[in-house]
Structure 1
Amino acid sequence: MQLLCSLDTLPTDTSKGFQLNDISLLAVNKHDNIHVYLNQCPHRGVPLEWQPDQFLDLDKNFIQCATHGALFRIEDGECIAGPCPGEMLTSIPTKIDQGQIWVNLPST
Protein backbone atom coordinates (compact mmCIF):
# COMPACT_ATOMS: atom_id res chain seq x y z
CA MET A 1 0.00 0.00 0.00
CA GLN A 2 1.07 3.58 -0.64
CA LEU A 3 0.47 6.65 1.46
CA LEU A 4 -2.09 8.95 -0.18
CA CYS A 5 -2.33 11.71 2.44
CA SER A 6 -3.03 12.59 6.02
CA LEU A 7 -6.68 12.32 7.02
CA ASP A 8 -6.44 15.98 8.12
CA THR A 9 -5.95 17.10 4.50
CA LEU A 10 -9.37 15.70 3.52
CA PRO A 11 -12.00 17.27 5.83
CA THR A 12 -15.49 15.79 5.91
CA ASP A 13 -17.69 16.47 2.86
CA THR A 14 -14.75 17.49 0.64
CA SER A 15 -12.95 16.00 -2.35
CA LYS A 16 -9.36 16.20 -3.48
CA GLY A 17 -7.33 15.07 -6.48
CA PHE A 18 -4.01 13.22 -6.25
CA GLN A 19 -1.31 12.00 -8.61
CA LEU A 20 0.56 8.86 -7.50
CA ASN A 21 2.91 6.93 -9.80
CA ASP A 22 1.38 8.64 -12.86
CA ILE A 23 -2.10 7.52 -11.75
CA SER A 24 -4.72 10.24 -11.27
CA LEU A 25 -6.98 9.67 -8.25
CA LEU A 26 -9.81 11.41 -6.50
CA ALA A 27 -10.67 11.02 -2.85
CA VAL A 28 -13.91 11.99 -1.13
CA ASN A 29 -14.59 12.24 2.59
CA LYS A 30 -18.34 11.74 2.98
CA HIS A 31 -19.42 11.86 6.63
CA ASP A 32 -15.92 10.66 7.68
CA ASN A 33 -15.99 7.72 5.26
CA ILE A 34 -13.14 7.84 2.74
CA HIS A 35 -13.76 6.76 -0.86
CA VAL A 36 -10.98 6.74 -3.49
CA TYR A 37 -11.46 6.25 -7.24
CA LEU A 38 -9.45 6.59 -10.42
CA ASN A 39 -10.00 10.10 -11.75
CA GLN A 40 -11.45 8.86 -15.01
CA CYS A 41 -15.00 8.97 -16.30
CA PRO A 42 -16.10 5.51 -17.50
CA HIS A 43 -18.00 7.13 -20.40
CA ARG A 44 -15.24 9.16 -22.05
CA GLY A 45 -12.09 8.32 -20.06
CA VAL A 46 -11.54 11.99 -19.19
CA PRO A 47 -10.74 13.50 -15.76
CA LEU A 48 -13.84 14.27 -13.69
CA GLU A 49 -13.08 17.54 -11.90
CA TRP A 50 -14.39 21.00 -12.77
CA GLN A 51 -11.35 22.70 -11.29
CA PRO A 52 -8.58 21.30 -9.08
CA ASP A 53 -10.13 19.32 -6.21
CA GLN A 54 -13.73 20.04 -7.32
CA PHE A 55 -15.32 16.66 -7.98
CA LEU A 56 -18.65 17.03 -6.16
CA ASP A 57 -22.00 18.43 -7.26
CA LEU A 58 -23.24 21.64 -5.60
CA ASP A 59 -25.00 19.77 -2.78
CA LYS A 60 -21.93 17.52 -2.22
CA ASN A 61 -24.09 14.41 -2.60
CA PHE A 62 -22.53 12.99 -5.79
CA ILE A 63 -19.32 12.95 -7.78
CA GLN A 64 -20.08 14.86 -10.98
CA CYS A 65 -18.27 14.64 -14.31
CA ALA A 66 -17.36 18.09 -15.61
CA THR A 67 -17.50 16.92 -19.24
CA HIS A 68 -21.12 15.79 -19.44
CA GLY A 69 -22.63 16.14 -15.95
CA ALA A 70 -22.92 12.42 -15.13
CA LEU A 71 -23.56 11.82 -11.43
CA PHE A 72 -21.86 9.00 -9.52
CA ARG A 73 -22.75 7.80 -6.04
CA ILE A 74 -19.92 8.60 -3.65
CA GLU A 75 -20.41 5.34 -1.73
CA ASP A 76 -19.82 2.92 -4.63
CA GLY A 77 -19.02 5.00 -7.75
CA GLU A 78 -22.08 3.88 -9.72
CA CYS A 79 -23.41 6.30 -12.35
CA ILE A 80 -27.02 7.14 -11.54
CA ALA A 81 -27.60 9.96 -14.06
CA GLY A 82 -26.10 11.01 -17.38
CA PRO A 83 -24.90 9.12 -20.46
CA CYS A 84 -23.45 6.09 -18.64
CA PRO A 85 -26.05 4.81 -16.12
CA GLY A 86 -24.96 1.67 -14.33
CA GLU A 87 -21.30 2.11 -15.23
CA MET A 88 -18.87 2.39 -12.34
CA LEU A 89 -15.91 4.52 -11.38
CA THR A 90 -12.88 2.34 -10.65
CA SER A 91 -12.64 1.99 -6.88
CA ILE A 92 -9.21 1.98 -5.22
CA PRO A 93 -8.79 -0.18 -2.09
CA THR A 94 -8.19 2.14 0.86
CA LYS A 95 -7.09 1.75 4.47
CA ILE A 96 -6.96 4.30 7.29
CA ASP A 97 -4.12 3.78 9.75
CA GLN A 98 -2.98 6.21 12.46
CA GLY A 99 -4.56 9.22 10.78
CA GLN A 100 -3.14 8.39 7.33
CA ILE A 101 -4.99 7.31 4.17
CA TRP A 102 -3.30 4.42 2.35
CA VAL A 103 -4.22 3.11 -1.10
CA ASN A 104 -3.52 -0.05 -3.06
CA LEU A 105 -2.85 1.18 -6.60
CA PRO A 106 -3.61 -0.97 -9.65
CA SER A 107 -0.70 -2.30 -11.67
CA THR A 108 0.11 -0.14 -14.67
Structure 2
Amino acid sequence: MSASTSSPVELALLDALPDQGFHSVEAVVEGDAEPLILYRDGAQVRAWLNVCPHAGRNLDWAPGQFLKSREGHLVCAVHGAAFELQGGTCVSGPCKGDALRVVPVRVEGGRVLLG
Protein backbone atom coordinates (compact mmCIF):
# COMPACT_ATOMS: atom_id res chain seq x y z
CA MET A 1 0.00 0.00 0.00
CA SER A 2 1.52 3.37 -0.91
CA ALA A 3 1.75 6.25 1.55
CA SER A 4 -0.80 8.22 -0.44
CA THR A 5 -3.52 5.60 0.02
CA SER A 6 -2.76 4.63 3.63
CA SER A 7 -4.62 6.02 6.59
CA PRO A 8 -2.98 8.93 8.41
CA VAL A 9 -1.07 7.95 11.53
CA GLU A 10 -2.47 9.63 14.64
CA LEU A 11 0.21 10.58 17.15
CA ALA A 12 -1.93 12.29 19.78
CA LEU A 13 -5.04 14.32 20.41
CA LEU A 14 -4.32 18.06 20.41
CA ASP A 15 -6.29 18.54 23.66
CA ALA A 16 -4.07 15.93 25.37
CA LEU A 17 -0.94 18.04 24.74
CA PRO A 18 -0.10 20.79 27.21
CA ASP A 19 0.02 24.21 25.52
CA GLN A 20 3.63 25.46 25.46
CA GLY A 21 4.64 21.98 26.59
CA PHE A 22 6.16 18.76 25.36
CA HIS A 23 4.81 15.28 24.79
CA SER A 24 6.66 12.08 23.91
CA VAL A 25 5.41 9.54 21.38
CA GLU A 26 6.86 6.80 19.23
CA ALA A 27 6.23 6.50 15.51
CA VAL A 28 7.62 4.81 12.43
CA VAL A 29 9.66 7.40 10.52
CA GLU A 30 11.24 6.32 7.23
CA GLY A 31 10.77 2.67 8.18
CA ASP A 32 12.21 2.83 11.70
CA ALA A 33 10.44 3.12 15.05
CA GLU A 34 11.65 6.42 16.52
CA PRO A 35 11.01 8.37 19.72
CA LEU A 36 9.51 11.79 18.95
CA ILE A 37 9.07 15.04 20.84
CA LEU A 38 5.85 16.92 20.15
CA TYR A 39 5.69 20.59 21.12
CA ARG A 40 2.34 22.35 21.18
CA ASP A 41 2.12 26.07 20.55
CA GLY A 42 -1.59 26.91 20.61
CA ALA A 43 -3.21 25.17 17.64
CA GLN A 44 0.19 24.30 16.09
CA VAL A 45 2.35 21.29 16.85
CA ARG A 46 5.99 20.82 15.93
CA ALA A 47 7.81 17.51 16.10
CA TRP A 48 11.41 16.37 16.20
CA LEU A 49 13.23 13.09 16.73
CA ASN A 50 14.03 12.74 20.42
CA VAL A 51 17.75 12.52 19.64
CA CYS A 52 20.35 15.12 20.60
CA PRO A 53 22.68 15.85 17.64
CA HIS A 54 25.62 16.08 20.06
CA ALA A 55 25.72 12.54 21.42
CA GLY A 56 22.73 10.75 19.93
CA ARG A 57 20.99 10.40 23.29
CA ASN A 58 17.36 11.14 24.12
CA LEU A 59 16.77 14.68 25.37
CA ASP A 60 14.32 13.80 28.17
CA TRP A 61 15.60 13.34 31.72
CA ALA A 62 13.04 10.59 32.34
CA PRO A 63 10.68 9.02 29.79
CA GLY A 64 8.46 11.83 28.49
CA GLN A 65 9.86 14.42 30.94
CA PHE A 66 11.59 17.35 29.23
CA LEU A 67 13.41 20.41 30.56
CA LYS A 68 12.49 23.89 29.35
CA SER A 69 14.74 26.85 30.10
CA ARG A 70 13.54 30.25 31.35
CA GLU A 71 14.22 31.50 27.83
CA GLY A 72 11.75 28.93 26.50
CA HIS A 73 14.27 26.51 24.98
CA LEU A 74 14.16 22.72 25.06
CA VAL A 75 17.20 21.58 27.05
CA CYS A 76 19.02 18.27 26.62
CA ALA A 77 19.09 16.61 30.03
CA VAL A 78 22.45 14.93 29.31
CA HIS A 79 24.75 17.78 28.21
CA GLY A 80 22.63 20.92 28.58
CA ALA A 81 22.35 21.84 24.91
CA ALA A 82 19.48 24.31 24.38
CA PHE A 83 17.23 24.18 21.29
CA GLU A 84 14.90 26.95 20.10
CA LEU A 85 11.35 25.80 19.47
CA GLN A 86 10.68 27.19 15.99
CA GLY A 87 13.07 25.00 14.01
CA GLY A 88 14.91 23.02 16.69
CA THR A 89 18.27 24.78 16.18
CA CYS A 90 20.78 24.41 19.01
CA VAL A 91 21.46 27.90 20.39
CA SER A 92 23.90 26.94 23.15
CA GLY A 93 25.86 23.95 24.34
CA PRO A 94 28.13 21.37 22.73
CA CYS A 95 26.17 21.14 19.45
CA LYS A 96 25.58 24.90 18.89
CA GLY A 97 24.47 25.49 15.29
CA ASP A 98 23.27 21.93 14.76
CA ALA A 99 19.54 21.17 14.81
CA LEU A 100 17.11 18.52 15.89
CA ARG A 101 15.71 16.46 13.03
CA VAL A 102 12.28 17.78 12.11
CA VAL A 103 9.44 15.29 11.68
CA PRO A 104 6.51 16.65 9.65
CA VAL A 105 3.19 16.65 11.50
CA ARG A 106 -0.15 18.36 10.97
CA VAL A 107 -3.25 19.02 13.05
CA GLU A 108 -6.62 17.99 11.60
CA GLY A 109 -9.89 17.67 13.46
CA GLY A 110 -8.19 17.95 16.84
CA ARG A 111 -5.76 15.14 16.03
CA VAL A 112 -1.99 15.40 15.56
CA LEU A 113 -1.10 13.37 12.48
CA LEU A 114 2.24 12.22 11.12
CA GLY A 115 3.17 13.75 7.77
Cα deviation, residue 33, structure 1: 2.7
- Are the aligned partners of 1:78 and 1:86 in contact in 2 as well (CA < 8 Å)? yes
Cα deviation, residue 2, structure 1: 1.6
CA distance in 2 between counterparts of 1:54 and 1:60 reads 18
CA distance in 2 between counterparts of 1:11 and 1:48 reads 18
- Is it true that 1:97 corresponds to 2:108 in the alignment? yes
Report the equivalent of 2:80.
69
2:20 to 13, 18, 22: 13
Cα deviation, residue 60, structure 1: 7.0
Structure 1 runs not aligned, ≥5 long: none
Q: CA RMSD in A?
A: 1.5
Structure 2 runs not aligned, ≥5 long: 1-7
CA distance in 1 between counterparts of 2:91 and 2:69 reads 16
- Are the aligned partners of 2:90 and 2:99 in contact in 1 as well (CA < 8 Å)? yes
TM-score by length of 2: 0.82
Cα deviation, residue 81, structure 1: 0.4
CA distance in 2 between counterparts of 1:16 and 1:56 reads 12
CA distance in 2 between counterparts of 1:17 and 1:37 reads 10
TM-score by length of 1: 0.87
Give 1:20's aligned amino acid. Answer: A
- Are the aligned partners of 1:65 and 1:71 in contact in 2 as well (CA < 8 Å)? yes
- Are the aligned partners of 2:67 and 2:77 in contact in 1 as well (CA < 8 Å)? no
Cα deviation, residue 32, structure 1: 3.9
Task: Show structure 1 runs of 4+ deviating over 3 A.
Answer: none
- Are the aligned partners of 2:44 and 2:107 in contact in 1 as well (CA < 8 Å)? no
State how 1:19-34 maps to structure 2 within 5 Å. 19-21=26-28, 22-34=33-45
Greater Cα offset, 27-36 or 3-12:
27-36
Identity of aligned residues (%): 32
